[in-house]
Structure 1
């Protein structure tokens, strides 16, 4: 009986060892699998640009630039470069009325510049078409 009891214990230990190996292997695959499934989307998300955040940060950057040109215009109200750049920034920020005011001032200060007149007329046409 002791012989069969020893055999039983040996076979039982082998079963336990096999189960441990299987559980270890399954655990390792589960761990690596979950790691891969967590890392791949994170890498894909990091590589894709974020348009909503980008546009919001771009707009805030444009507003900061506009504030800088407004400060220049407070010191030098007839600064041609600041008036030009600020009018362009206001157009980018979809502030057509603000851009028109600046361009009208540029046309008054520099009547020889046809490009100011042309841009001003284009904005006025767009505004009149948009109002209808």
Structure 2
């Protein structure tokens, strides 16, 4: 009877081990497929609209910076850093007239800064041509 019990227990352990392996394999397949599905969707979305979101976020960031500097200039009209940064942004965006006005103000506020004068002259020359 002891041998029948040990045979039964051994068969039962094997059945349990087999069921555990099956459940493990099913879990691994489900986990792997969910990762592949998520990765596929991410790659697909990135492939469809890669540049649009980057361009929009850069424009949005630039607009936020412009608004921030303009707010600073409303509170402190002679803020040197805000005048500098806003004039640079306007130059890069093609608003030469706005940049020239800001740089003229910088030259008036800081007549000792030769770099302001040089940049202002260069922008005026480019604006004329």
Per the normalisation by structure 1, the TM-score is 0.60
- Is 1:108 the counterpart of 2:122? The answer is no
1:89 Cα offset (Å): 1.3
In structure 2, stretches of 5+ residues that fail to align are: 1-35
1:112 Cα offset (Å): 0.6
C-alpha contact 1:90 1:99 (8 A) present in aligned 2: yes
Q: 1:4 matched to which residue of 2?
A: none
Q: 1:64 matched to which residue of 2?
A: 64
Q: 1:92 matched to which residue of 2?
A: 92
Post-superposition CA distance 1:14-61 (Å, at most 9, x none)? xxxxxxxxxxxxxxxxxxxxx99xx4x962662698234322321221
Q: 2:50 matched to which residue of 1?
A: 50
CA distance in 1, matches of 2:92, 2:112: 25
C-alpha contact 1:62 1:93 (8 A) present in aligned 2: no
CA distance in 2, matches of 1:42, 1:61: 24
Post-superposition CA distance 1:95-128 (Å, at most 9, x none)? 1111110000000000110111111111111111
In structure 1, stretches of 5+ residues that fail to align are: 1-34
Number of aligned residue pairs: give it.
Answer: 93
Q: 2:74 matched to which residue of 1?
A: 74
- RMSD over aligned Cα, in angstroms? 2.6
1:64 Cα offset (Å): 1.0
Q: How has the CA–CA distance of structure 1 residues 122 and 47 changed in structure 2, closer, same or farther, with 3 Å as cutoff?
A: same
- Runs of 4+ more than 2 Å apart: 41-53
Higher mean C-alpha displacement, 102-111 vs 60-69: 60-69
